[in-house]
Amino acid sequence: MKSRFGFSVIWAAGALATLLAFPATTQAQDYPSHSITVIVPFPAGGPSDVIARIVTDQMARTLGQSMVIENVGGAGGVIGSGRVATAPADGYTLLAGSMGSHVAAPVLTPNIRYNPLDFTPIGPTAHSPPIIVARKDFPAKDLHDFVADLKEQGNGFKEAHGGIGSSSHMACLLFNAATGIKPTLVAYRGSNPAMNDMIGGHVDFFCEQSVSVIEQIKSGTVKAYAVAAAERLASLPELPTATEMGVSYVMSIWAGIFGPKGLPAPVVTKLADALDKALDDPGVRMKINALGGSIPGKAERNPAAFDAYVKSEIERWEPILKATAEPPK
């Protein structure tokens, strides 16, 4: 079909589509041309924050642009995650997501405003097990006595977590289900505020990722009872596993980098490559391992594999979380 101007309408439509796509293609090729904001959906000092800062500092060197961490805490990671879900899909706003924001929050947080699959997976950053820690003057000498005390006094003890739907909330629920204890749960706006209150003696115990409690354990400001790992941590060899102490409690909490849905493939490739190189860096490995964390295997570190892993985690944990969560009040 030809218009009265003598050229094909179909050709004109195709040419227009090409012109419209050209700026986006050029933008992706030039990416990144300025700094990248990485939203950590929890306050500074928590496990998500610690891992994100270690990894993105190295990624920035590969990308040639700074990666600026912005802490947007609240609602167990939902507020910060929601901001990234609605951000422009240009690669300049990313999410330092976690098992909490993508697995626990959608199940445990009422009226959540994003779908955990409404993101573009870039890759995983680390795995770390929870450690059962208590205020330093807690009387129990080991995990056996600890569980016995909690069973005897029930909700007389206060258990902290970093907010409904956070990874630490998830860890607390699973520990309580494994031991049959029913403490009073106290929610905070992130793991760091919860830890500070436990150090101050305002709450009794906490199931928190190794990456944010090892330094407190070594300094003696908190008392550690067991790690929820298959093996003892090299950085805390004297700390027994929960399994050694007769409690069936093994858990690995993961973290990763995500972008908004619809991130251009060239941008995803550049970010995934930078993340892969960061995780191969000896300095990054040393820092994460020293905190009791582990680096994901090479086969896990591509967007497709990470996408499949996140979907499998959602499917695996949803019924468990629904079964262990407190009934609505």
- CA–CA gap between residue 249 and residue 172 (Å, rounded): 11
Ramachandran angles phi, psi of 248, nearest 5°: -80, 85
Averaged pLDDT, 279-297: 95
Question: Do residues 106 and 75 both lie within one domain?
Answer: yes
On whether both 79 and 218 belong to a single domain, the answer is no
In the chain, % of residues over pLDDT 70: 90
Mean pLDDT (the chain) is: 89
Q: How many CA atoms, within 13 angstroms, populate the side-chain half-sphere of residue 255?
A: 35
Query: 282 in a domain, yes or no?
Result: yes
Give the range of the structural domain holding residue 297, as residue numbers without chain letter.
32-128+254-324
- 264: which residues sit within 8 A by CB, 6+ positions away? 24, 27, 28, 89, 90, 91
Lowest mean pLDDT among 109-123, 231-245, 273-287: 109-123
Give residue 165's pLDDT.
Answer: 84
Q: State the alpha helices, DSSP H only, in 124-255.
A: 143-153, 167-179, 191-199, 214-219
In the three-class reduction of DSSP (H, G, I as helix; E, B as strand; rest coil), residue 39 is classed as strand
pLDDT in tens, 6-32: 444 444 445 455 555 445 455 567 899
Please say whether the beta carbons of 127 and 254 come within 8 A.
Answer: yes
Residue 164 is classified by DSSP as T
Copy the structure tokens of residue 6.
């003598």
The sheet carrying 158-161 orders its strands as: 184-187, 158-161, 205-209, 130-135, 222-227
pLDDT band at residue 290 using 50, 70 and 90 as cut-offs: very high
The pLDDT tens digits of the residues spanning 200-226 come to 999 999 999 999 899 999 999 999 999
Together in a domain, 41 and 88 = yes
- Model-level pTM? 0.84
Spatial separation of the C-alpha atoms in residues 38 and 69, rounded to whole Å: 5
Residue 246 forms part of a structural domain: no
Q: Please report whether residue 23 resides in a domain.
A: no
CA proximity to 104, closest of 47, 161, 166, 46:
166
> Are residues 69 and 122 located together in one domain of the fold?
yes
110 and 136 co-located in one domain: no
In a shared domain, residues 146 and 214: yes
37 and 115 belong to one structural domain: yes
Kindly report the number of other CB atoms within 10 A of residue 254's CB atom. 25
Which of 187, 208, 227 is the last residue before a domain boundary?
Answer: 227
Q: Which tens digits make up the pLDDT trace of 40-84? A: 998 888 888 999 999 999 999 999 999 999 999 887 788 999 999
Question: Could you tell me if residue 58 is inside a domain?
Answer: yes
**CATH number for the domain including 295?**
3.40.190.150
Judged against a pLDDT cut of 60, whether residue 105 lies above it is answered with: yes
In a domain, 308, yes or no: yes
Q: Are residues 112 and 138 in the same domain?
A: no
Considering 120-134, 142-156, 183-197, the range whose residues carry the highest mean pLDDT is: 120-134
Q: Is residue 44 part of a domain?
A: yes
Is residue 236 in a domain? Answer: no
- pLDDT at residue 161 greater than cutoff 80: yes
What CATH code is carried by the domain that includes residue 153?
3.40.190.10
* H helix runs in the chain, sequence order: 9-30, 47-63, 78-85, 99, 105-108, 143-153, 167-179, 191-199, 214-219, 265-280, 282-290, 303-324
Same domain, 97 and 85: yes
| DSSP code string of 104-160 | IHHHHSTT--S-TTSEEEEEEEEEE-EEEEEETT---SSHHHHHHHHHHHGGGSEEE
pLDDT of residue 6: 42
* Whether the predicted pLDDT of 299 surpasses 50: yes
What is the CB-side half-sphere exposure of residue 53 using CA atoms within 13 A? 15
Structural domain contains residue 204: yes
Look at the chain and report how many structural domains it folds into: 2
Mean pLDDT of 117-126: 95
pLDDT band at 321 (very low <50, low <70, confident <90, very high): confident
The pLDDT value given to residue 14: 52
Structural tokens at position 252 = 């690995």
* Residue at a domain's end among 192, 227, 262: 227
pLDDT recorded at residue 27: 56
